[in-house]
Structures are given as C-alpha cells and as structure tokens.
Structure 1
Amino acid sequence: MMKNRGKKALSGLFSLALIVSLFSAMPVKAGAVSSWNGVIPAANAAYSFSGGSGTEVAPYEIDTAADLAQLSANVRGGTVYTGKYFVMTDDISLSPASASDATVNPTVAGTAGYTGGGTVYEWLPIGGGNTSYSFQGHFDGNDCTISNIFYNQSTGSYGTGNSVANNIGLFGKLEENASIRNLTISGGYVGAKRSVGGLVGKGWGDIENCVNNGTVVYGNEAKGVGGIIGANWVNTATNPPSILNSANYGKVISAYSSGSAGGIAGENEGTILNCWNAGEVISPYNAGGLVGSNKNDYNKQTGTGGTVYGGISNSYNAGAVTGGIAGGVAAFQKGSMRNCYNIGNITGSTYAGELIGEMNSSLTNDALRYEGSSTPVGNLVSGSPATVSFSSASGLLSDLNGWVSAQSSGDYSTWTIDPSKNSGYPVFA
C-alpha cells in the first residue's frame, strides 16, 4: 500500500468587425436546459435538427434533447454522418434524477436497477452496442453540458434494443477521423459489460476538451472501463487517435477479474496529452489513474507510420486508485510516458507503483515525477523509466515547465499553481 499527499484605429475597427461577423455566424448557447422525455424515436435520415446543413460553417444544431435522441436513432439506423458537423446550442438533461453507484444495482438490468428517488430514463448510445455502426462525424459540444445520463446493462445481453452490453457510453462507438470536442458530461451512471466509457465506449477517433464531471462508469467484463473512453484503439497505423486536454472527475469501476479501469481510458493504444484524473478508479486487476492498460498494438505496426503505441504525455493523476495492479498514471505500461506526475493514493494487492503498476516497455518513459520516497514502479519487467522524486509543489512546477519549454512541439500545455485547486499542486495554465 502507498499513500501520497493529495495599423492603428482603422485596422483595429476592421479586426473588431471581423470578430463580430465571425461570432454572429456561430450558434450561440441558449442558456437553458433541454430535458429528455425518455422516448427514442424511429430513425429518420431526413430529420433537419434545429438548424444547419451539416457543413463545417453551418453545422447541424443540437438544441434540444429530442435532437440528440434523433441523432442516436439515426446513427444506430445506419445514417452515420461521415464528415458531417454538429454543434450543441443548449445544455441537455437526459433524466430528471441523477443516479450514482450507490443508487444502482448492477445485477438488475435497466431502470429497474435504480433504487434512488425520482425518475431515470435509459439512454440509447449513439452508435455502438450490438450494431456495426459508429458515429463518423464531428460533434462540438460548444462548452455545453449533458447531464444525468443513465444506462444499466452490465447484466444485459448482446441482443436488440437497450439490452446491449458492449461498446457503451454517451457515444457507443467513435470512428476513425471522427471527433468529439468541447463537451462536458455531468452526473449519472453508465454501466455495461465491455468497452464502457462515460463519453465513448470504444473509439478510433479524436477527443478534445472534454470532461466527465462526476458520471459513474461501471463494467464487469473484459476490455476497458474509462471515465472518458473505455477502449481507445488504433485502426490505421498512420492515424492513431488522440485524447487532448480532457479530464475525469467521475468514479470508474471494473468488477471483472481481469478488467482494466482508468480515469481517462480503460485500454489505450493512442495519444493522451494534457489530461488529468481526479476521480476514484477501482479494479480487481489493472487500475490506473489515467489508463488501466497502456500498450503497444503489435498488429498495427506493419503500417508505414512506424510503431504504434500508447503514449501518455504531460498529464497527471490526483485520484485514489485501488487495484490488483495499481499505478498512479498507468497500471500496465507497455507504451510510452513523459512528463507525468501523481499525487493520488495508490493501493495495489499485487503491485503498486506511484506512477506505474507493472512496466514492460522498451519505449521512451522519462521525466516521470513522484512524491517523496514512495515506489515509482510496482513491478519492473523490462525497460528503464526515468523517474524523479519531488518534495515540493514549487519544485515540481519548475520541473514540469522546464520539460515543456525544452520541447520543439507547441502542443504541450504549460503549468501553474492555483492554491485553491488540486491541493496546491500544479495544474494546467
């Protein structure tokens, strides 16, 4: 067991006019919450949403919960919106009540397993489940929030309707070249068997600026369970997916004897950059603050893009992690990790590492920072991670930003300290 501490005037007027014209063409968030009535409509490929034409300059507008439900029905009916654009213009609530792990019995499927007060409606994920369809467009949350999602099929079958138990999240499957950005999910419960995530169950696309703000995620079979995505897979060696600038505050639970749970991703083959976790992560097997199982995908390494690997960079964990193999950043590490740190409490019954539970990697693992005299790697099978202990938040800040400033890429966020956040330890500026 390990425990850690928590040209002048004319040009100016022109610029202003340009900015105003740009913003006047963008959908504006309405400021109210649209509530879902629990009805999943029939698929209707001709549905016009609340505006827009699906182009980048005139995206389809998701203004109501009915719009979102229709999107789900259409994707699951085979209209996958390849290359189309969507933007939210309102906050949406998917249930009148908000479930939690304390108010859901995962052994009783559907809404019958909800034991809390008020009503919950069971969401039908956008793609995924028992279908072969993935969302193939671009979804911009426009800094809106989708709250009180509910899905409880961890004892369900791989059948029809809602009784589907794999590839489950707000979006069930996110295809390669598709994206989700600028979206927060808040509250509620997503429970299924395999590839379960708060935002996405299984995906090969990109996720950016997204937050799980308290949605519980539960899975009880193989594959990953993640606060943002269950399984983040590579489809094409030259085009690995990325998760950027995203965070999890929700509780993540795998109940499977060989399951992998992570605050950002349960299983990962892509890039995770500028991300953090502050939610609790639990699994009897792999439990990682950011990733449960971070690994090479040997089957994709024949591509011309070279080695495909799970890469975690410039990220941190502040959440408690409990597992058989437990790691502050990753439980099982077969990928790369750079400029990451952990301050969460780590408890592992087999192996426990402040940064990594078990490591078997010949890739770059450096500038990894851990607190005090605790153990950075629980079990080192192969590789030689470059780890550095820190004893103060200010020293950690200097080291993190020193690494960022030394990089040729501008993709890495800089760090700062806000005494009111993260127990005074570094956060992104």
Structure 2
Amino acid sequence: MRIEPTIKNWRIRRKFFSLLLIAAIAVTFLPLPSHAAAPFAGGDGTAESPYQIASAEQLDEVRYHLDKHFILTADISLSDYGDWEPIGAFQSLSDAPEDAEVPQPAVAFTGTFDGNHHTISNININKPMSMAVGLFGCTVGTEENPGSISNLNLENVNAAGYYLIGGAVGLQHQNFMVQNVTLTGTNEIQGLQGVGGIIGTSFDTVKNCTAIADIVVTGDDGACAGVVVGGTDGGSLLNCTAAGGSVTATGKNCWALGGVCGAPYAAPKITTCMAENVTITASGTNNRLIGGLVGFTGTYGEDAPTSVTNCTVAGITINVSDSTTCVGGLVGGSTAGSTQTIPSVFAIKDSSTAGAITGGTASVGSIAGYAYHSTVENCTSTMTWNSGILNQIGENVAVPVKSRGGRSSGGSSSSLLTPPALATDSSGNTAGSAVDITFNDDQAWRTAISRLTVDGKVLTNAQYTITAGSIRIIAGVLETPGNHKIAVISSGYSNAVIAQTMTEASIASVVRLAGSNRFETAVAIARAGWTDGADNVVLVYAFDFPDALAAVPLAKKLNAPILLTSKTELSSVTLAEMERLNAKKITLIGSAGVISQNVEDSLIARYGRNNIVRYGGANRYATAAAIAEAMGQTGKAVLVNGETAHYPDALAISPYAAYHGIPILFTEASRLPAETARALTTQNVGAAIIVGGEGAISAEVFNQIPGASRYGGDDRYGTAVAIIKGLAHEFNQVYVVTGVNFPDALVAGNLAAHTQSPLILVDKQIPEAVQTFFTTAGQDIAKITIIGGEEIIPASQISDLLKALE
C-alpha cells in the first residue's frame, strides 16, 4: 500500500486501510534504548538458538531486542502488569507521503516469536487513545528476513485502544506470518477501527487461528471488526475460526463487521474458515456491510476474485437496525475502494450458513447481502431474515448463481421488477455542477434504493439526496465534461440507468477578500470563513509575522478566526468583528511586550478574566514553543526560518500544518534556538517537516531535527508549490496571496486551513513555478480567492492566472 499524489490533482490515492493508518497517526513513537545484556533463560537470539522466555519479566525484555528470535518455555501470567505496554510500535518510515503507512522497522517487532504451545494469560492493556495496541503493537518483516508469531495460546485478554487493536498483534504488516494462535477464556477487545480478537489489522496471511472474544466498536464511524481479525489488506485467511463471542457496534455509520473478520480487503483466499455461536449487533443508524463470516471482501479484478471456499457459519445471530444495508449470512457485500471505480468481486463456493438475521431493509441475503459481478456456487443455507425466508443474494448485480436453491429454503429467485424511467437534467449542466434526475415517483422503488454509481463508481450517501420524484447528485461529483453513466440500484428491481451529459465548465470563479488596511482584511477573512460566528477568537500582533503564523494551527484547533491588534489598543474594526462573531473566549498570542497588558485588561473587562488566555514567551521562538505546548503532544512539528525575510515559508505551510494539527516552530538559518530544541524534546517530536532550502535552514540544523524531511523550491514561490505537491493536498480551490510583504496575507493561512485549501504566493509578476502549477492543476480548481486589494494583487495578475487555467 502506498500513497501517490498524482501530477494532475495531487489527490491522495490510497488502498482500503490507508485511511485507518493516516487517521490514527497522532503520536510518533521513538525507539527504545537497547539493553547491554539480554536477561533471558537461555539462547543467543539467533534463529538457531532463540532467546528462551520463562517469566513475565523476560517477556517484558523482548521490547529491547525487537529483531531477535524468541521461544516461550513456560506458561506466563501478566496479571502483575496493570497496563501492558505493547511490544513494538508503529511509526511511519519517513514523513514522505509514500512512506506514511510503512512501519519503521527500528521500532516495530521484526523477529520471530514461537509460543511453543504455551499460554500467556491475564493481559490487560488500557490505551483508549492509542493505535497499534496488543501484546505486540506492530510487527513487520522483509522478504529476506520474514517475521512470525506462531504456536501461541492467549487467555483472558482485556485490551482497549483507538485504532488497530488485537489480543496478539495490533498491526501485522507485510512479510510477517501469524499462525497457530488461539484466544480462549474471557476476552474483550475494544476500539474504533481495525479491532480483532487476535489481530487488529493484517497485511499478510493469517493461518490456523481460533478465537473466542467479545469485540466492541467504540463510537460512530467504527469499522473493520471481527472475532479473529479486524481487517486485512492483501493477505489470505486460512483455516481460521471464531468459536464464540460477539461483535457489537452501537454507533452510527459503522461498517465492515464480521464473525471471523470485518474486512478482508483484496484477500486472495478465504479458505476453510468458520464462525460459530457468534452474535453480531449493529444497533446504530446507517450501518452497512455486516456478515456472519466477513463483512466486506473482494478484489478489484474479475479475473482473480477473492476465493471464499469451504466456509461455514453456524448458530450466528445478526441483529441490525432497519437502516442497515448489505447484510449477509456469509459475506455482507462488496464495495468500491478509494482508488477503485467499481465494487469488488468475490467467488463463493461450497459454503453454508445457519442462523438468523433481524433488521435491515436493503441488500439482505442468506449467503451475500450485496454482490457485484461475483459468483455463488454450491452453497446452502437455513438462515432466516425476520423469521422468514430470504434469497441467497440480497442484491444481485450481474451475479451468476449456481447454488442449490436461490432461496434459503430452496426454490428459485424471484424475477426483478422494472424501475421507473429516469429523466436527465437538461439545465445548466456544466462540469462540477449539481445534477437533478427526475422520475414519476414510485415510493416502493425509491425507498428500496441502496446506492448510486457514476461511471461504475459507487457514491457515498453524502454525495446524493433522494426525494419524491427526484434524485440530486451534489456539485463536484460529475466534475468532468462529457457523457456519464448513472445507475440507480434498488433492491428487487433492475438497475435504472441513464446517460448524463456535462458541458465544459467555465473558468474558475474569482473572489477577492480585502480591506483598506490589514485590520479590515483580517475582518474580511473572518467574515468569509465564520459567517455564523465563533465562540473563540485568536488575537495576534498586526505588525510582525511569527506569532500570527505560529498561531494558525492553534486557531484551527479552536475553530477560531484570527484578528489583528496593535500593541497598545484594539482597533474599532476588530472590536466590531468580535461582537459580530459573538465570541466567548479570546486567546492572545505573544507576551505583554508584544500585546500590552492594557489590551488584555480591556478584554478582561468585556469578557471576564476566565475567558482570556495568553500564550507567549521571551521571543518568537519561545512563543511558538508555548503554542505547541498548548496544542498537546503530536509527535510531529513543522520548522521554518523565523527571520523576517523567510516569512513566506511559514505562510505557505500554515494551512497544511493547521489542518493536520501540527505545531509550527521557528529556527535560525544556521542555529537551532534553545527554545525550539526544548520544544522538540518536550513534544516528543519524531518526524518534522523542514520548509525551505539550505539557504533558509542549513544542513547543520536539519541534521539536529528528528525524522526531518525537507520541502523547498528555488525560491519562496517554488517552495509554496513544492508543499502542495509533496504533501498531497486535495482541493478544488486555492488562495492567492502576495509573497512580497506579509500584512494582508498574515491570517490567510487560517482561512485556507478552515476550507482545506492551499496558499499560492505571487510576485508582481506570475512566478514560473506558479504558472506551471496552474497550467497543470487548473482543471481541478473551481475557485480562486485573492487575499488583498488591487494595489497588492492587481487585476492583471488575476487575468494571467485565469489564462494559465485555460
């Protein structure tokens, strides 16, 4: 799995589990120090003579020898460890986008662990805000030196995490085998996404594993949960059994829940797997992809579908809300991935199901809830739905069925009904605009609609709305000119298909935000981004840049506009905007030497002492460090040159840093200030983005910063473009600011972060790097927002930008 920003639109293209990893990387782990001596019962840590583990204390020492080989020689209880620290952690290989999901071997477990059929029991892990949680946190191997965990029994595991949680392993990455592992006793594994009894998320084969566990999905948007494995990416499941327990999700919008595995994505094989006496509950609204064996599976090539063979579901109880879709006795269904335009495909053969499904209104089947270009062959079922019989496939999209009996009780599937005729939208259909499809209302058909596809790509629920006689596809979905095939899929009906023509979109709209001075421009920006007011306001000094730009990530976290003040008094324009916003709390950035006590006192008189907060230090480096501390530890940082000549670098990176919650710290060109060095340590920074070339931040400083990666161009304009390309922004609008002086641009980064958009810097002429960027990415840009008045960025420059877009 890799992240690849495209040349055309810099969009991040990820496989299925990329979102789980990226969303989860909130803390970067650092390597643990190695111990001089290995206090084990014997062995030398080689494959021929593995370290022998005979006690809990010796097991705890494994974390200091992550690349060695181990064998368990006795049963071990971890009851004396109230909160076990997982062995091996996940840290990105580097801050480069293509390495975001690749584990850093230095901090992951890369060796082998042979349980020797012994038992490790009474494991308690309570890390509800952490990722990669388990007896082992993160494991990875190489083709030359594959790793493994094998022949291990676990008993009585209670583990809580946020992402990627398993009793044995939180994240099993590539070239690392997990086999012959059992989980028995009383076990509860809980987390939001990637939650499994034995493995949270796997990128390799899982073989001969059996588990009894209660899996709890904690919150809305939970995903990928199963009694044995939460989810896999590219690995097979072979002879794995869920021998009892439950999978429970009470939140809304949860998906991919299964008896054995929630989401074996792109799995080559699921062979001889069984789920027995498992209860699956999804009681919230708008859940999907729930299966007795697996919730979601499939590959994206019909020539090599996921093979589901000789699998059994017995004594399964599936209870879901009425709004749940894609529920199957064996497989919940297939769906489209982030980089695939059609649903995935699978081939089910020689399998059986028995149990009961209660709830669900669309795409419910005794074998598969939803199937696309897949096969179901020689399968049997006695599964019931709301105490009645049901088809083996709930929603059949060109699926050959070769089973004994189309319904669970035998007999053939009923023929599909004819949907109403659809009418295309014939008004104002420029590419990127919303589209209204109309039809003579048929309530039965309309309420049974389960999904829409555009050119084979399944739309999310947020991308369309359905009302009586009309379906609206929101703006931005049909974003390219030409003919688009739209299919409306409704359970029990043939697909309703039309062709919608979209015309060439007009060039991007242009908006200018400006005032007669810097204070008014800041107010214009606040009004554009916070039209309905804001509880928080961040106040910065108007006549220098460091404090204002360092404050952008904090402002984003507070969902606060940034307004400007002089040193000694608030302007009437700023006060009026604070009143319009109906602000409740004011955050001052900078010491009393930057924003005077007089300003603070006047705010206290208006808002009360408890509603005024100040973050400041003796200089710009200390103030930035104070802001970073206020944001909390993230394990990451952005470093830019804090000298005035280099303010554009801080400006250009500020939207990215803010949107990802990364603090901005300042350095000198050839010296790392003590305040910044301390902040890197206290913030536990293990990965840093360095902005600018060696003229801005020298190699000597670069080498002092943990996990540093540099983004820079030939000049300030090229650096801004390099940030967009290298950090893979996804956007359809840009903000254009001057790269010559900072006053009007000072708070632009905050609005750009608020709308998830990048900043482009221009000079009196359009720089070559910017010209190339607009020429290349122009088709994706629907809106350009100019920050500053005509005297800052004249109309002639805007005209040049629009010509580049054409």
Within the candidate set 49, 69, 84, 2:40 is matched to 49
Mapped pair 1:367 → 2:367: no
SS of structure 1 residue aligned to 2:213: coil
Q: 1:127–1:172: 8 Å Cα contact kept in structure 2?
A: yes
Q: After superposition, where does 1:287-298 map in structure 2 within 5 Å?
A: 287-296=257-266
The residue aligned with 1:90 is 74
Q: How far, CA to CA, are the matches of 1:202 and 1:372 in structure 2?
A: 31
- TM-score normalized by the length of structure 1: 0.64
Mapped pair 1:173 → 2:144: no
Larger radius of gyration: 2
The residue aligned with 1:263 is 227
Q: Where does structure 2 lack aligned partners over 5 or more consecutive residues?
A: 1-31, 93-103, 300-305, 335-342, 357-364, 384-806
The residue aligned with 2:275 is 317
Q: 2:345–2:371: 8 Å Cα contact kept in structure 1?
A: no
SS of structure 2 residue aligned to 1:50: coil
Mapped pair 1:198 → 2:167: yes
The residue aligned with 1:355 is 330
Distance apart, 1:151 and its partner CA: 1.1
Distance apart, 1:384 and its partner CA: 2.4
Q: After superposition, where does 1:41-190 map in structure 2 within 5 Å?
A: 43-72=34-63, 74=64, 79-81=65-67, 84-96=68-80, 121-128=82-89, 132=104, 133-154=107-128, 156=129, 165-176=130-141, 177-190=146-159
Q: How far, CA to CA, are the matches of 2:259 and 2:225 in structure 1?
A: 8
SS of structure 2 residue aligned to 1:127: coil
Distance apart, 1:190 and its partner CA: 0.7
Distance apart, 1:347 and its partner CA: 2.3
Letter in structure 2 aligned against 1:348: V
Distance apart, 1:142 and its partner CA: 0.9
Q: Where does structure 1 lack aligned partners over 5 or more consecutive residues?
A: 1-40, 97-119, 157-164, 234-240, 297-308, 393-429
C-alpha distance after superposition, 1:136-189 (max 9, x if no partner): 1110111111111111121x3xxxxxxxx0111000011132100111111131
Distance apart, 1:255 and its partner CA: 1.7
- TM-score normalized by the length of structure 2: 0.35
Pair 370,188 (structure 1): closer, same or farther in 2 beyond 3 Å: closer
C-alpha RMSD over aligned residues: 2.3
Letter in structure 2 aligned against 1:342: V
SS of structure 1 residue aligned to 2:370: strand
Q: 1:128–1:201: 8 Å Cα contact kept in structure 2?
A: no
Q: Which runs of 4+ in 1 moved over 6 A?
A: none
Q: How far, CA to CA, are the matches of 1:200 and 1:175 in structure 2?
A: 11
Q: How far, CA to CA, are the matches of 1:267 and 1:310 in structure 2?
A: 14
The residue aligned with 2:189 is 217
350-359 or 224-233, which deviates more: 350-359
Pair 372,167 (structure 1): closer, same or farther in 2 beyond 3 Å: closer
Q: How far, CA to CA, are the matches of 2:165 and 2:319 in structure 1?
A: 23
C-alpha distance after superposition, 1:243-277 (max 9, x if no partner): 11111101112224232201121111201111100
Pair 322,341 (structure 1): closer, same or farther in 2 beyond 3 Å: same
Q: How far, CA to CA, are the matches of 1:334 and 1:128 in structure 2?
A: 29
The residue aligned with 1:401 is none
Q: 2:260–2:275: 8 Å Cα contact kept in structure 1?
A: yes
Distance apart, 1:206 and its partner CA: 0.6
173-182 or 283-292, which deviates more: 283-292
Distance apart, 1:70 and its partner CA: 1.0
Q: 1:128–1:172: 8 Å Cα contact kept in structure 2?
A: yes
Q: How far, CA to CA, are the matches of 1:286 and 1:390 in structure 2?
A: 21
Aligned residue-pair number: 292
Distance apart, 1:42 and its partner CA: 6.9
Q: After superposition, where does 1:235-384 map in structure 2 within 5 Å?
A: 241-258=204-221, 259-269=223-233, 270-277=235-242, 278-283=244-249, 284-296=254-266, 309-318=267-276, 319-323=278-282, 324=287, 325-335=289-299, 336=306, 337-343=308-314, 344-349=316-321, 350-351=324-325, 352-359=327-334, 360-371=343-354, 375-384=366-375
Higher RCO, Cα 8 Å, sep 6+: 1
Distance apart, 1:385 and its partner CA: 2.6
Q: How far, CA to CA, are the matches of 2:61 and 2:355 in structure 1?
A: 52
Distance apart, 1:285 and its partner CA: 2.5
The residue aligned with 1:30 is none
